[in-house]
Each structure stands twice: as structure tokens, then as C-alpha cells.
Amino acid sequence: MIRLLTLSVLVAAAAFPAVAQSSKSKGPDPKKAITQYTHEVWQTDHGLPQNSVTSIQQTEDGFLWMGTQEGLVRFDGVLFTVFDKNNTPEIRHNHIVALAVNRQGTLIIATHSEGLVAYKNGVFSRVLNVPQLEGTQLRHLHIDHRGSIWVSTRDSGLVRLDSTGTSHFTKRDGLVSNNVWEVTEDAQGRYWVAAEGGISVIEGRSIHSFTQKDGILAKENYSLLPLSGGEIWVGGRDGMQRLRLDGNTLRETKRYTRESGLASNGVYEMINDEQGNHWIGGDRGLTRIYNGTVSTFTDKDGLSERLVNAVFVDREGNLWIGTDGGGLNVLKDGIFTSYSVKEGMPHNNTWAVYEDKLRNLWVGTDEGLVLFDQSKGIRRVYGKKDGLSHGLIWTLTSDTGTGLWVGTINGLNRIVNERIVPLPAELQFDDQAINTLITDRSGTLWVGTSGTGLYKVANNRRTKIGAGHGITNEFINVLMEDRNGNILVGTDGDGLFILRNDTVRARYTTKDGLTANFIHSLYVDAQNNYWIGTLGEGLTIYDGAAFHTFTMKDGMFDDVLYQILEDDHGRMWFSCNKGIFQVERRQFFARIDGTSDHVVYTAYGKENGMISSECNGGISPAGWKTRSGHLWFPTARGVTMVDPKNIAINTQPPLVVIEEMLIDNESLRIPSSASVPPGRQRFEFRFTGLSFDGPKKVRFKVMLEGYDKEWDDIRYRRAAYYNYLPPGEYTFRVIAANSDGVWNMDGASFPFVVQAHFYETRIFYLTVAVFLTLLTYGIYRWRMRTIRARQEELERLVEERTKNLTEANDAKSQLLSFVAHDLKTPLITINSIAQEIKRFEVDKHFRGYLDLVEQNSKRIVTLISEILNITAIETGKFQFRMEPINIADIAGMVVDGYQVQAHRKDQRLQYSVDGHEYCTVLADSGKMQEAMENLVNNAIKYSPRGAAISVNVTRSNGTIRFSVNDQGPGITEEEKEQLFKKFTVLSAKPTGGEIATGLGLAIVKEIVEAHKGRIYVESEPQKGSTFIIELDRHT
């Protein structure tokens, strides 16, 4: 069925408030070059039906609409939806030439030659009763302040549609031509008409026309843009001019042509934005005029096609460009400002960034050194032809004056007063790649090279700081001076060295707590904490007492860290291969203090203004904070800058639309509500969030009221699924947040009812319930008599058997205890006699027998002791004395007590504790020590000679954890299931012939569980084992 719409309905709402239009949207920052905006392109490969975009509009629900030669297109930032004559019968011609939104929020669609179509709330309707438009080629739409619709045509003049009917204006009525391109309304209520041959002005019932004889620049006039003061811009085939009508006299006040800087003389589209930008689309590209300054953006700059049909600014300030054959383009104003070859850089690949003492900014690239004036941009480029030893610049630092040291891949250079000055031969570092430079507070220059080590330069002499000084690596990646005047040396494989008076005072590697020995970045904060960035193993913070690591598992965006900078607002910034990210500084120390278990980052990339997300590093400085607080980072496609104090937040929450409901894969157009027949199994809701400032980062939460009890965070998925919903009333709700985390808490909702089968209704359940109640009552009466008799017999049998079992269990425990005690005393005596006899000189073979007697008697005594132990715990005869104890103190005593035993097997028994003062638990100190000794003894027993065994006490979220890590043979999954049971013997054997009874871990388990704790093991075959006891922290 084709829906029809009359003119009275279409334009009846003149009193309604107007929908916000693009002409007053914010717009991109005019201080940036157009090439510094984020640029994206969509074409047929991305979902457009055709690559000529004729018109662009945005409706009040947030969707972007485009006209093409192959249909009407709706866009949510991710997906294109096409409406054409094949799927929408109201559209009779696929070529959409113009779009407009009226005061009711209705989208008006002008087709090429099949009249007008209206769209509102998901419904298309054809506009009736406009005979002047039948068979006429349409060109442009304009909605005036009364809500009337003005339609420009190719050969039929101008048609106005209002609630009273239609009005037709042609050459007979005074128009300069019937071939009309555009009409608009100025501040005085006059209507300006751009047409072939000149301009016409409709004022009341009068029409005044002007041609080239009257000062009109072009014969063909295509576009109009009224200004607030009554003037108007007119664009045509030969440029654009600003006109003012004084009475019947037309006066030109400004003119722009290609000679004035326009991309082309042909001007097809003009708009203004709130930033004061004047945007012009023409047949050779896009032009921006701001405060009289003209700049262009053409196909040479990346525009997908130079002929521009449409220009539009959405409600978030993004600039959309419809081209003729090149698809859809958008320019977005990101928080980063980037400089590449398009802005005058000699090469896109940048490496080092540095601000000198005169506040000049210097950037090293693959093909030269760039001098920036931070307020005006690039000032000068230095290359090999200017005297540099090489064009590839890796590092920069100031000298003792106002000059600059420049490190290249082939030697050292110096610039003084912006001139390259010659150096003595000794300081040239010929054929040496210089990775990093710093000048310390004493004025000494430190030079870190790639392959030839570390040097210091003082008094025009260089000194090698090598193995004799304690530096054992020749590849120096980064240098830094700390608050105490120490020189930090980050190497490529040997960790971090701390130099004082040319001598290594300390060295830190993975053995000391670093996550990696490949150091790529260093930062020293105001508290003299060392921030150490590595290649692939995340961040380490050294606070002078301990190393604290942060990786992607702890919430970091990436584990490759090229640079670390701190802004003036409590945020740490990191560059990496995937972009730039920042984390609030307090989050790191909250995790160190144990009040948080992870950090939360905010990541930035191409969608935020970076030309490339891939940053460069491995040398230093790979980023710089200027005195103004701006942060600069080198990337693979230019250098990029962010001002942390002016990070713009998109305060516009995304509009949310539920687009479709699918029931068992059948689509249901979203009405106001729905009733679902019984028996349906699969329910799917598809929705979108309308924010074009980062559409792929729009985040969603959903809730099905009547089913869900809380919001489900589905992140970036634009569909929700439910199966087998029981009969009842439901409301599906969805809310969304834009890329800056601003939520639309109202969101969208859709109520529906799932109908029930008869057997699912309350009447059916009530009938069945009554029947079952009566049936149950009858059966109950019959069964009760039988049950009473049977119950009496069972009670007698249970009482008799319970008595027998209790007596047997008590006898077993008593017998076991008696036997153990009776055996233990003579065995100890036998062991003592064997030891006493061995003190005398006896035959070698006889001594061997004595050793065997001693060893086996010890084994049996150990077994008996453990049997007595576990029996006492199981029978409850042992009373635990619970009192607050520091588990770290007990662990320390255990480790000290077993050092001798470990030493006999050349093993290293290491102990560490995290926050000694916070390790108090409620426990029996003696039994807890026994449990710890058992685990440490096992680790020594099953680890090979020379192994490293670590004992650790840590804390996390109110839990104290005691762990023992060994280098034994590991435990299989099958053995783990039996591990803590009595008399379990593993396939692995003690490495030193020690005794294994199979009761030790069972005793440990009984002790730990008596403390309401938990014991478990983490192990893989051939990779050692970690036994862990967890107890609640006592406060």
C-alpha cells in the first residue's frame, strides 16, 4: 500500500518550533589547517548504493540522510540503509536531488522527476495535489520561517507549498528565468532566487530581477547564503559575491574567485558554522574562508572527488561533504593537532621532539630537523645540505647556553643561534648512531649510542663510560637525570643502570623486579619515583623500596611504552604502537596501596585527530611536554600535539533508536507496542546510537523489564538477544553513551506482550492446582497409615545401627592412637641405639645396616606423628588457640629455619613480603607454622639441587596469601584431584632421598580449613608448582 500525504497535513504546523539545523552547528576549529582534521571516506564498498551524494540532512532522531542517484540513504555512523523504489513504493524515482527537514521534523525528499516524498516516524508518504511538479525535474528545497516549502525546478520556475495550497512563480511573473537552481530567505523576509541568467528577489507581491548588466558576477547562479545583516552571498559559475539590496539597487560588497584563493570558480554549495567558518563546495574542491583567510581542501589533499555537491555540519560539529562520484566525506575536529608533509614537514616519519630554552620546538624526522614556532607553525627545516651529518634525526637536547645538540644516525651536531656550527673531530662521533642525549645540571653532555656504548662530553673532551665503570651494555636507549643528580641509563637488554660520579651505584633487572631488561622510556616524577617503560612488558614504577608492575592484565592499553609524560592535571600519558593513552596518576598508587586492583585508561587514535595511531620510539626524547603544558609525540605520519587542559568533551549524548525487532528471524517494524503470539522462541532487538563523533565507540546498556533485574553492559554491540521468554508483559530498554562517556539515560524503549498458550494461563494452572490438591489429599490419607507403621520400624533400625557405627569409629580411633603411641616409643629407642652404636668403629657392612635401621625408624616415627596429628584434628581433640598473629613473622621464621636444609642441596630459599604491617590474621600460630613448614619442606624435598625456591606473603582485597613456589617436576591434573587426600603418593619422588608419608598435605588442608581458609595448587608438569594458602585478613 502506498501512503499518501496532503499539503495541508505536510505544512500545517507553522506554529511548531523549528528543528535545529546545521547552519548553526558548532563546526571545526578554524585555527587548524583543513588537512589537520580527521578525514574519513565512505563509498559503494562501504554500503552506499552509488557514489554521487547530492544532498545531506539530519533529522531530529539523529540519523544522517543522503540523496544519491540510486536511492535515499540513512546513516548512523556505522551502517547505511538504502530506500529506493524496489523496497519503498512511495519513492518512484531513485535519483534523489534534494532533502529538507520541516518544522515538524518531517524529512522532505525531492526526487528527480517524480515529485515529493515525506518521511516521519518510520513512515514514507507521497505528497499529493501538486500538479506543477508532475513530470518536472526538481533541483532544490527550502523551508521558510512559516513552514512553507519552496521547490526549485529546472524548467518550471519556482513552486511554493503551504497550508492554503500552491503558488507558482515563473518568468511571466518576473523571474529572471524558469531554470531555477536555489531559493532562500533573508533576514528581512525577502526571497532570493538563483537562476540561469541572474538573480531574482521576491518581496511581498513584487519580483525584482538582476542580471550581469546589474552587477551579477555570473550568468549561471547555483547557490545562496543569507547573512544576519541583510546581505547575501551568491555563488555561481564564475565565483561568489556578497550583495546588498538598497531599494531597487543591488550593490556588491565582496567578491571571491579562483584568483582570490577559491578552489574553483564554480560555487555549488555554501554554509556557515558557529565557529565563523564559511564553507564553499565547488567543481574543484572545498574552500574555507575564515576572517578573510582562504584555504582549500581538494583531491590532492585527500578529498575523494573534487566536485562537491553538498556540504553539511551535523549537531556535533562534524563537516560532511557529498561529492559527485567520490562518495561521502567527513572532516572532524579531533583533540590532537598533527603536522605532516601536507603542513610542510620534510618527511612523515618523525622520531624526536624537544623544546629548547627559547621555547622553540624541534622535531627530528627521517629527512631533516624541523624548527617550530609554536604559535605560527613550521619556521625552518635543516638537512644534510645545511651541514647536518645525516638527515635522520634520533635525539635532541639543549647545551649549556641556548644552543641545541642534535644526534643523528651518523654522528653528533650542534646548532647555535639557529646555525649549524662545526665540532672538533673528537666530538663528531662519525659513523655512530646516537640514540639519546641529555645535558645534566652540571652542564655535562651524556651521549648514548646504538652499539658503541655511553659517553660523557665535558670541556670539549669525550670519555667512554663502559665496563670499567660498571656499564656492561653498548646499546643505550634512553638517559634521564633524577632529582638527586644520578644518571639513569636504560639499555637494550641489560636493564637499568644508576650512575653516580661516573660509577654504577646500582643496577636493576628482571631479577630485581623489572618486567623486562629492554628499557625504552624513563620518567622521574617530583617524588623521585622512577617510571620505567619497556618493550612489550609494560610499566614498572620504582619508589626507592620496591618495584611495582603494570601491564595490559592490570588495565594498561599496551605493553610497549615509547614515552612517558605527566601533564599538569594529574594524568600520565604514554605513547605506543597502537596510539596514545592516558591514565590518572592516582590510579597507579591506588593499586600499589591495595585499594584498587587495576587502572583505567583513555586511548586516542586516528578518530581523535592523529594521522596515524602508530607512535615512534626506542630512542629519546620520543615525546615532550612544553612549558605551556602541551604534549608532543612523534608518529609514523607526522608529529602530533594535544593540549591536556583543553580536551574538548562531546557533551551531546547519542540519540537512541530501536530500529527493528526480530521474532524467530521474522522482522517486525517497531510500532508503539506489539503483541507476540504464543510459542515464539527467539527474540532479537536491533538498535543504534546516533553520535557521529566516534560512532564505533558508542556504548550500549540494555534491560528487558519483566525479565532482567539490572542493566546489561553489552559495550559496542548493536543487538540484544533473548530466548524462550515466558508469557507476560515486557519493556525492552536501551541507553547509550558517546565516545566521551556522556550517557543518554532516557534512551529508547519498546513495550510488548508475549501471549500464552491455554495451558500457560492462570485459569489452566488454577484448575490443575485444584485437581492435584484433591488427588494429593486422597493419596496422602492412604499413605499416612502405611508410613506411620514403616516409620516406627525404621526409627528402631536407625537407632540400633547408629549406636553400632559410633562404637566402631571410637574403637578404631582409640586403637589407632594406642598402637601409634605404643610403637612410637620403642621406635625412638631403636633409632637412638642405632645412632649410639655408630659412634663406635664398626664394620663397613654393619654400618650400612645401622644406617638402614636409622632411616626406616625415622620414617615410621614421622608417619606415626602425622597419623596422631590428623587423628587429633579429625576427632576434635585438638583445640586451636586463635589469636591475632602476623603471618609474615611466622613465614620469616619458617624460612630462616629451613635455610640450612636448603643449603645442603645448594638451593636458594628466597622470601618476600608485601606490606608487612598489613599481614595480620586470626590463627593458631603453632599449627599455622606447622602448615607452612610442611609446604616449605616439600618444596625443598621435591626441587632439584641448585633450584630457586621462593616464599611470598602478599595481600589482595582483604585476603592474606602465603605461597611457596618450587622448581620440582610439577603435578598432573589427575594428581591434583587426589593431592590433599590421606596417604596420597605422587609419581614424583624426593630428589634427595627424603621421606614422603602421603599425610603432610592432608594435615595442611585440615589445619587451613580449621582456620576457615583455602589451600590450592597451581602447577603444570615439568614447570614446578606453587602451593597457596589464603586467609582472611584480621583488622
Measure the CA–CA gap between 267 and 282, rounded to whole angstroms.
4
Residue 616 lies in a domain: no
Measure the CA–CA gap between 495 and 498, rounded to whole angstroms.
10
Tens-digit pLDDT profile for residues 725-763: 999 999 999 999 998 889 999 999 999 999 988 776 677
Q: Which of 140, 49, 64, 53 is nearest to 98 (CA)?
A: 140
What is the structure's pLDDT at 823?
A: 52
Q: With cut-offs at 50, 70 and 90, classify the pLDDT of residue 18.
A: very low
307-310 long-range Cβ contacts below 8 angstroms, 24+ apart: 307/268, 307/282, 307/283, 308/268, 308/269, 308/281, 308/282, 308/283, 309/52, 309/53, 309/54, 309/55, 309/268, 309/269, 309/281, 310/53, 310/54, 310/55, 310/56, 310/66, 310/269, 310/281
Measure the CA–CA gap between 572 and 104, rounded to whole angstroms.
48
What is the structure's pLDDT at 857?
A: 57
Indicate whether 444 pLDDT > 60. yes
What is the structure's pLDDT at 830?
A: 60
Measure the CA–CA gap between 46 and 14, rounded to whole angstroms.
39
Indicate whether 562 pLDDT > 90. yes
More confident residue, 683 or 799: 683
Measure the CA–CA gap between 809 and 570, rounded to whole angstroms.
67
Measure the CA–CA gap between 490 and 85, rounded to whole angstroms.
67
Concatenate the DSSP letters of all residues of 633-668 into one string. Answer: EEETTEEEEE-GGG------PPEEEEEEEEETTEEE
Domain boundary among 702, 733, 756: 756
Looking only at the bridges linking them, the beta strands covering 123-127 and 4-5 are parallel
Residue 196 lies in a domain: no
Residues 439 and 414 in one domain: yes
Q: DSSP class of residue 943?
A: S
The type of residue at 826 is: P
What is the structure's pLDDT at 16?
A: 32
- Average pLDDT, integer, range 426-447: 95
876 Ramachandran zone, left/alpha/beta (phi>0; psi -120 to 50)? left
More confident residue, 865 or 88: 88
Indicate whether 8 pLDDT > 60. no
* Residues 600 and 594: beta-carbon distance below 8 Å: no
What is the structure's pLDDT at 986?
A: 72
Residues 998 and 1024 in one domain: yes
Q: With cut-offs at 50, 70 and 90, classify the pLDDT of residue 9.
A: low
Residue 189 lies in a domain: no
Tens-digit pLDDT profile for residues 395-435: 999 999 999 999 999 999 999 999 999 999 889 899 999 99
Q: What are the residues whose beta carbons fall under 8 Å from the beta carbon of 697, sequence distance 6 or more?
A: 607, 716, 738, 739
The length of the chain is 1035
Looking only at the bridges linking them, the beta strands covering 712-715 and 191-195 are unpaired
300-304, 880-884, 942-946: least confidently modelled range:
880-884
Measure the CA–CA gap between 133 and 820, rounded to whole angstroms.
111
Indicate whether 765 pLDDT > 80. no
Residue 85, Cα to own-chain centre: how many angstroms? Answer: 41
Concatenate the DSSP letters of all residues of 983-1016 into one string. Answer: T---SS--TT-----S-HHHHHHHHHHHTT-EEE
Residue 897 is inside which H or E element, if any?
helix 887-904
Domain boundary among 874, 891, 909: 874
Residue 381 is inside which H or E element, if any?
strand 377-382
Q: With cut-offs at 50, 70 and 90, classify the pLDDT of residue 387.
A: very high
Measure the CA–CA gap between 905 and 936, rounded to whole angstroms.
14
CA atoms within 13 A on the CB side of 377: 13
Residues 1023 and 925 in one domain: yes
What is the structure's pLDDT at 17?
A: 33
- Average pLDDT, integer, range 340-360: 95
Q: DSSP class of residue 178?
A: S
Q: Is 202 helix (H, G, I), strand (E, B) or coil?
A: strand
- Reported pTM: 0.70
Concatenate the DSSP letters of all residues of 602-616 into one string. Answer: EEE-GGGT-S-S-B-
Percent of the chain at pLDDT > 90 equals 67
- Average pLDDT, integer, range 468-494: 96
CA atoms within 13 A on the CB side of 111: 22
260-269, 521-530, 875-884: least confidently modelled range:
875-884
Residues 923 and 1018 in one domain: yes
Residue 701 lies in a domain: yes
Indicate whether 573 pLDDT > 90. yes
What is the structure's pLDDT at 798?
A: 67
Provide the grid cell at 1030.
589464603
* Residues 706 and 729: beta-carbon distance below 8 Å: yes
Residue 92 lies in a domain: yes
Residues 432 and 536 in one domain: yes
Measure the CA–CA gap between 46 and 877, rounded to whole angstroms.
77
Q: DSSP class of residue 1033?
A: P
Q: Which of 177, 193, 196 is nearest to 226 (CA)?
A: 193
Indicate whether 658 pLDDT > 70. yes
Q: Pick from 528-542, 657-671, 844-858 the range whose average pLDDT is largest.
A: 528-542
**Residue listed under C-alpha cell 564554480:** 266
Tell me the CATH number at 403.
Answer: 2.130.10.10
Residues 551 and 487 in one domain: yes
Indicate whether 991 pLDDT > 90. no
CA atoms within 13 A on the CB side of 256: 24
What is the structure's pLDDT at 828?
A: 53
* Residues 575 and 617: beta-carbon distance below 8 Å: yes
* Residues 599 and 326: beta-carbon distance below 8 Å: no
Measure the CA–CA gap between 14 and 461, rounded to whole angstroms.
85
Domain boundary among 874, 892, 923: 874
Residues 834 and 957 in one domain: no
What sign does the CA torsion over 300, 303, 307, 312 have? Answer: negative
* Residues 152 and 140: beta-carbon distance below 8 Å: yes
Residues 793 and 887 in one domain: no
Measure the CA–CA gap between 380 and 666, rounded to whole angstroms.
65
Q: What are the residues whose beta carbons fall under 8 Å from the beta carbon of 1, sequence distance 6 or more?
A: 89
482-501 in b/e form (b: 16+ CB < 10 A) is beeebbbbbbbebbbbbbee
Q: Which of 100, 72, 107, 106 is nearest to 86 (CA)?
A: 72
- Average pLDDT, integer, range 990-1001: 75
Residue 857 is inside which H or E element, if any?
helix 844-874
Instruction: Name the residue range of residue 768's domain.
Output: 762-874
Tell me the CATH number at 80.
Answer: 2.40.10.500
What is the structure's pLDDT at 15?
A: 34
Residues 417 and 520 in one domain: yes
What is the structure's pLDDT at 541?
A: 97
Strands (DSSP E) found in 482-637: 487-491, 496-500, 503-508, 519-524, 530-534, 539-542, 547-550, 563-566, 571-576, 579-584, 601-604, 624-625, 631-635
Percent of the chain at pLDDT > 70 equals 89
Indicate whether 686 pLDDT > 90. yes
Tell me the CATH number at 850.
Answer: 1.10.287
Measure the CA–CA gap between 677 and 660, rounded to whole angstroms.
17
What is the structure's pLDDT at 622?
A: 97
Q: Write the burial class of residue 417 (CB in 10 Å: 0-12 exposed, 13-18 middle, 19+ buried).
A: exposed
Residue 999 lies in a domain: yes
Total domains in the chain come to 5
What is the structure's pLDDT at 21?
A: 33
Residues 968 and 1018 in one domain: yes
What is the structure's pLDDT at 1015?
A: 92
- Average pLDDT, integer, range 1001-1008: 86
Residue 243 lies in a domain: no
Residue 66 lies in a domain: yes
The C-alpha torsion from 532 through 538 and 543 to 545, rounded to 10°, is -110
Report the chain's C-alpha Rg in angstroms.
41
Measure the CA–CA gap between 935 and 1002, rounded to whole angstroms.
11
Measure the CA–CA gap between 873 and 880, rounded to whole angstroms.
9
What is the structure's pLDDT at 875?
A: 57
Q: Which of 587, 684, 601, 699 is nearest to 654 (CA)?
A: 699
Residue 778 is inside which H or E element, if any?
helix 762-837
Q: What are the residues whose beta carbons fall under 8 Å from the beta carbon of 89, sequence distance 6 or more?
A: 1, 2
Residues 397 and 373 in one domain: yes
Cis amide prior to 751 (ω within 30 degrees):
no
Q: Is 353 helix (H, G, I), strand (E, B) or coil?
A: strand
* Residues 690 and 63: beta-carbon distance below 8 Å: yes
On average, the pLDDT of the chain sits at: 88
Indicate whether 466 pLDDT > 60. yes
In the chain, helix, strand, coil percent, each to 5?
A: 20, 40, 40
19-23, 296-300, 554-558, 990-994: least confidently modelled range:
19-23
- Residue 203's alpha-carbon distances to 94, 192, 224, 583, in angstroms, are 35, 9, 16, 61
420-429 long-range Cβ contacts below 8 angstroms, 24+ apart: 420/382, 420/386, 420/387, 420/388, 422/387, 424/460, 426/460, 426/461, 426/462, 427/457, 427/460, 427/462, 428/389, 429/455
What is the structure's pLDDT at 753?
A: 94
Q: With cut-offs at 50, 70 and 90, classify the pLDDT of residue 824.
A: very low
Residues 732 and 772 in one domain: no
